[in-house]
């Protein structure tokens, strides 16, 4: 068959919606992506149920102090802490996977203006994460309530003050975290480096702050990405913490800054 005998291409043009469609095809056509998202959902729901079941079975033997420290929302959203691992690593991989395999050269040859690719990747991954994590946190909430609501202090509902905000906040946190990590991946362009950066920011730096004198710690820690992001899915905030929405806004600001740095570097560097 000669090339001229193929279906004509018609009127071609690269547009942002087309790049979004392309990135959606890429996302859904990798097994590793589907597995990571599936694991995030299973862990998000499963851990809430597990935590609920353990609390429920041990409630009789718990001291009043222990009982006072158990909050139904902590049980419902326990899985967010684990799901964030899967979402964060996947966010890094979505972009570093293209660098490690060489796919980035094909991608940037098709869209040599480059930035539409970054916007599309962030948009598609953010949307997919939110669409999957919202039902995950809702199911985790209802499932864990089904397990623990026979214990009066652990009974709550979405109509209780702050509960709906915190539950949806869990999904919002994971969404913004995913985009943040995608930007980290775009900045370092290397899977190991990206994951190390993600782990450093979310799991290493926060506990290190305890080395600081407490007045310093209290002044700095609430503004770290991890703490700021958590405000949105905490039922209450501590004396030194930012308010729920202020914390979340700051977290979004970190993600936006990371995306902006990634955009500048993407334009400037050789592929």
Partner 1 sequence: MRLSSGARYGARVIEARNLTKDYGDKRAVDDLSFTVQPGIVTGFLGPNGSGKSTTMRLALGLDRPTSGTITVNGKPYAQHGAPLHEAGALLEARSVHTGRSAYNHLLALAQTHGIPRRRVDELIEMVGLKEVARKRVGQFSLGMGQRLGIASALLGDPQTLLLDEPVNGLDPEGIHWIRNLLRSLAAEGRTVFVSSHLMSEMSLTADHLIVIGRGRLIADLSVDEFVRRSSKKLVRVRTPQAAQLRALLSGPDVGVTGEGNVLEVSGLSGEQIGEMAAAHRIVLHELTPQQASLEDAFMELTREDVEFQAGLPEPEPERAVA
Stretch that binds partner 1, among 110-118, 141-149, 175-183, 207-215 (CB under 8 A): 110-118
Structure tokens at 74: 């902590």
Contacts of the segment 31-36: beta carbons below 8 A, 24+ positions apart: 32/90, 32/93, 32/97, 33/90, 33/93, 33/94, 36/86, 36/87, 36/89, 36/90, 36/93
| Residue 91 · residue 179 · CB < 8 Å | yes
CB 37 within 8 A of CB 128: yes
Name the token pair of 118: 């970054």
35 binds partner 1 (CB under 8 A): no
Q: Is 111 in the site for partner 1 (CB under 8 A)?
A: yes
Query: In the block, which residue shows the tokens 């929302």?
Result: 73
The answer to the question of residue 38 lying near partner 1 (CB under 8 A) is: no
- Minimal distance, residue 111 CB to partner 1, in Å: 6
Q: Does 265 bind partner 1 (CB under 8 A)?
A: no
Q: Pick from 50, 205, 256, 271: which binds partner 1 (CB under 8 A)?
A: 271
Q: Which stretch binds partner 1 (CB under 8 A): 30-38, 192-200, 201-209, 250-258?
A: 30-38
Convert 61-77 to b/e letters by CB count within 10 Å (16 or more is b). Answer: eeeeeeeeebebbbbbb
Nearer to partner 1, 17 or 64 (CB): 17
Q: Least distance in Å: CB of 35 to partner 1?
A: 11
* Footprint on residues 64-103 left by partner 1 (CB under 8 A): 97-98, 101-103
Q: Is 12 in the site for partner 1 (CB under 8 A)?
A: yes
152 binds partner 1 (CB under 8 A): no
Contact status: 243 vs partner 1 (CB under 8 A): no
What DSSP line would sit under 142-171, residue for residue? HHHHHHHTTSGGG---TTSTTHHHHHHHHH
Q: Rule CB under 8 A: which residues touch partner 1?
A: 1-4, 6-15, 18-19, 21-23, 25-26, 29-32, 97-98, 101-113, 270-271
């Amino acid at each position: 068959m000669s090339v001229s005998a193929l279906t004509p291409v018609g009127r071609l043009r690269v547009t942002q919606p087309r790049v979004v469609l392309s990135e959606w095809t890429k996302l859904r056509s990798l097994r590793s992506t589907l597995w990571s998202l599936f694991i995030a959902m299973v862990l998000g729901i499963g851990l809430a149920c597990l935590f609920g079941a353990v609390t429920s079975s041990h409630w009789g033997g718990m001291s009043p102090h222990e009982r006072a420290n158990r909050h139904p929302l902590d049980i419902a959203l326990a899985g967010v802490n684990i799901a964030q691992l899967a979402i964060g690593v996947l966010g890094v991989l979505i972009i570093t996977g293209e660098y490690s395999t060489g796919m980035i050269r094909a991608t940037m040859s098709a869209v040599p203006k480059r930035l539409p690719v970054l916007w599309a990747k962030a948009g598609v991954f953010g949307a997919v994460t939110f669409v999957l994590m919202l039902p995950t946190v809702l199911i985790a909430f209802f499932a864990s309530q089904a397990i623990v609501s026979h214990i009066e202090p652990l009974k709550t509902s979405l109509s209780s003050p702050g509960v709906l905000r915190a539950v949806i906040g869990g999904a919002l946190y994971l969404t913004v975290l995913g985009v943040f990590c995608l930007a980290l991946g775009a900045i370092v362009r290397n899977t190991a480096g990206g994951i190390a950066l993600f782990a450093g920011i979310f799991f290493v730096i926060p506990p290190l702050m305890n080395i600081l004198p407490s007045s310093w710690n209290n002044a700095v820690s609430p503004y770290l990405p991890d703490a700021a992001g958590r405000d949105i899915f905490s039922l209450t905030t501590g004396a030194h913490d930012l308010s729920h929405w202020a914390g979340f806004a700051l977290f979004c600001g970190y993600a936006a800054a990371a995306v902006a740095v990634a955009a500048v570097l993407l334009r400037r560097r050789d592929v």
